[in-house]
Chain A
Amino acid sequence: DVKVTQSSRYLVKRTGEKVFLECVQDMDHENMFWYRQDPGLGLRLIYFSYDVKMKEKGDIPEGYSVSREKKERFSLILESASTNQTSMYLCASSWFGEEECEQYFGPGTRLTVT
């Protein structure tokens, strides 16, 4: 079974702190994704990566950056956390290519910025 894990289920940080959210997958997937999930807004793509050291902006990249130094690990970084970044953050991974774009999700990190 595919396993996607995230470093924390719950996280509380202060405004202005630098925050790291980590995601690891064990299926050798090329693609990895970071979403934020807010009530009434569904899932919105922040960043994704289709290879080591490659990254592409999604729909809402402002205030975030990412790092992918190893194929299995994809980190989301909040350079200076703000209260409007309080949200649920979901990581996902998938194979590269047209045929199989099913994504596998981690358990999520609920981040609260105070």
Chain B
Amino acid sequence: AQTVTQSQPEMSVQEAETVTLSCTYDTSESNYYLFWYKQPPSRQMILVIRQEAYKQQNATENRFSVNFQKAAKSFSLKISDSQLGDTAMYFCAFGGRLMNYGGSQGNLIFGKGTKLSVKP
């Protein structure tokens, strides 16, 4: 069964600095998707970045980038120039072809989350 592990329950970073959040996963599939979601305090969960496993190039979205190491099954999130608004819970999630119940794909497996605090 697929699993997703986030080994850092909490992290903090100074404003304007760079921080990296770790995520490892386990799967026997060769093609799948990986996601980082952000959940600000008392606010809606939103997608930060997405990586398709068959793409070798690491995904980037403005200040957010990933380091995707397929062989090592590692998917870390780097936040550059951290801002106070980056304070949130961050969840790593895995989605793949085998993630189906009753024939439907589309389910995701989530890690337990990393609580990131950006300090002024």
Q: Which residues of A contact B (CB under 8 A)?
A: 30-31, 33, 40-43, 45, 48, 50, 54, 56-58, 90, 94-98, 101-108
Question: Which label, helix, strand, loop or mixed, suits the secondary structure of the A interface?
Answer: loop
Q: Please measure, in the bound complex, the distance between the C-alpha atom of A54 and the C-alpha atom of B96, giving whole angstroms.
A: 21
Please give the distance in Å from B46's CB to the nearest CB on chain A: 7
Known: A41-B112, A43-B110. A105 touches B45 (CB 8 A): yes
Verify B91–A43 contact, CB threshold 8 A: yes
Between B91, B101, B111, the greatest number of chain A beta carbons within 10 A of the residue's beta carbon is seen for B101
Question: Which 6 interchain pairs have the tightest Cβ spacing?
Answer: A50-B104, A101-B95, A42-B112, A105-B45, A56-B101, A43-B110
Q: Which residues of B contact A (CB under 8 A)?
A: 9, 33, 35, 37, 43-47, 50, 91, 95-97, 99, 101-108, 110-113
What are 16 sample pairs from A and B whose C-beta atoms fall under 8 A apart?
A33-B107, A42-B91, A42-B111, A43-B110, A56-B101, A56-B104, A57-B101, A58-B101, A95-B106, A97-B106, A101-B33, A102-B33, A102-B47, A104-B47, A105-B37, A105-B46
Verify A96–B105 contact, CB threshold 8 A: yes
Query: B111 contacts which chain A residues (CB < 8 A)?
Result: 42
Verify B44–A50 contact, CB threshold 8 A: no
Known: A101-B33, A107-B44. A45 touches B107 (CB 8 A): yes
Minimum CB distance partner of B104 in chain A: A50
